[in-house]
Amino acid sequence: MIMPKGQPLLMPARPLFIALSLIAALAFNMLPLGRVVWTPDLVMVLLVFWGVHQPQRVGMGVAFAMGICMDVYQAALMGQHALAYTALMYGAIFAHRRLLWFSVPSQALQVLPLFVVAHAIELLVRLLAGGIVPGIEGLAAPVLEAALWPLASWVLLAPQRRPPDRDENRPL
């Protein structure tokens, strides 16, 4: 693939870094912060990020496992988060080649529909199980997740921007 003009060549992401970032997002989601309906889901943000940047390492199986963990933690209907995360990961993998050609703010606008659909799936499953409609403030979570996209890109791509070898004699 030809790199877009002005973008640096990135080193491959280390599997341990990917796993630790996903575990940290899961741990952050499990913090007892008085979760309200508009709180962004960091697992969703990181699943989409790694689905776009490393689709061969983080796929729908990882998304399903993370969803089951969230279902167990929140005592939600089993498979509610797993279904939403798997559909989210499918959309991220489907669009990953196109998304990488855009700037980070444009990417944030383009992943917003993915977050909206994932939250709509969660809401639909919750309603089918007899839950209540959260109200208009439920629309804030996908917007906040899209707003976190530039920060996630900056933080998670920083280790990949390291030089391959620290050699003063080689220009690359």
pLDDT tens column, 133-167:
777 777 888 999 999 999 999 999 887 776 655 66
Residue with tokens 């917007």: 143
Please tell me the pTM assigned to this model.
0.85
User: Is residue 86 one of the residues assigned to a domain?
Assistant: yes
Given pLDDT bands bounded at 50, 70 and 90, which one contains residue 7?
A: low
Identify whether 45 is part of a domain. Answer: no
30 is a domain residue: no
pLDDT (average), residues 61-71: 94
90 falls within a domain: yes
Q: How far apart are CA 5 and CA 164, in angstroms?
A: 20
Query: 57 Cβ partners below 8 Å, 6+ apart?
Result: 13, 15, 18, 50
For residue 16, being part of any structural domain is answered with: no
> Which residues are CB-contacts of 9 (< 8 A; sequence separation ≥ 6)?
3
Q: Look at residue 21 in the predicted model and tell me its pLDDT.
A: 95
Cα 67 to Cα 121: distance, rounded to the nearest angstrom: 13
Average pLDDT over residues 51-70: 93
With respect to residue 51, please indicate whether it lies within any of the assigned structural domains: no
Q: Which residue has the higher pLDDT, 131 or 59?
A: 59
Query: Does any domain span residue 79?
Result: yes
Tell me the three state secondary structure of residue 102.
coil
Q: What is the DSSP letter of 8?
A: P
Alpha carbon distance 106, 109 (integer Å): 5
Total number of domains constituting the chain: 1
Q: Residue 151 sits in which domain range?
A: 65-159
Q: Is residue 138 part of a domain?
A: yes
What is residue 100's three-state secondary structure? coil
